[in-house]
Amino acid sequence: MKGYGWVAGSVLLVSMAQLMMRWAMSQLPELTALAEVASSFALLPALLLLLLLTGLGAYGLSMLCWIQALHHFPLNRVYPLLSLSYVLVWLAAVGLPFFHESFSWRGLAGIAVIIIGVLCIARKP
């Protein structure tokens, strides 16, 4: 069971990283205006900078969890579980109002296909 904790940690951390960086980047000015802001990080709001750095840190921690997960499982069984991060990010992006992402039945169908695929590939033979 210990190995599954590392997989879950990797999936959760990479999902959180995506969501934090998405929100922070949506709050930054457009690329054309970014040149003016780039001259000084002091102009960036502290929360945005903190979220970006935390997101990058979460990616790093996710990689450490992934390395530990690979110690416990063969790659062909555990790799499909990483796609669960797509499910979590989609659900959070659609479900949390501050992301302003719209729900679509096509997206939900894609999520269902991912879940079915993970169940088919990752379970023990």
Rounded-to-integer distance, Cα 119 and Cα 89, Å:
19
Rounded-to-integer distance, Cα 62 and Cα 6, Å:
9
Taking alpha carbons only, the member of 13, 1, 4 closest to residue 56 is 13
Rounded-to-integer distance, Cα 105 and Cα 95, Å:
14
| pLDDT tens-digit readout, 17-65 | 999 999 888 887 665 665 565 555 555 677 788 888 999 999 999 999 9
pTM: 0.82
> For residues 44 and 109, which has the higher predicted lDDT (pLDDT)?
109
Which of 7-16, 27-36, 76-85 has maximum average pLDDT? 7-16
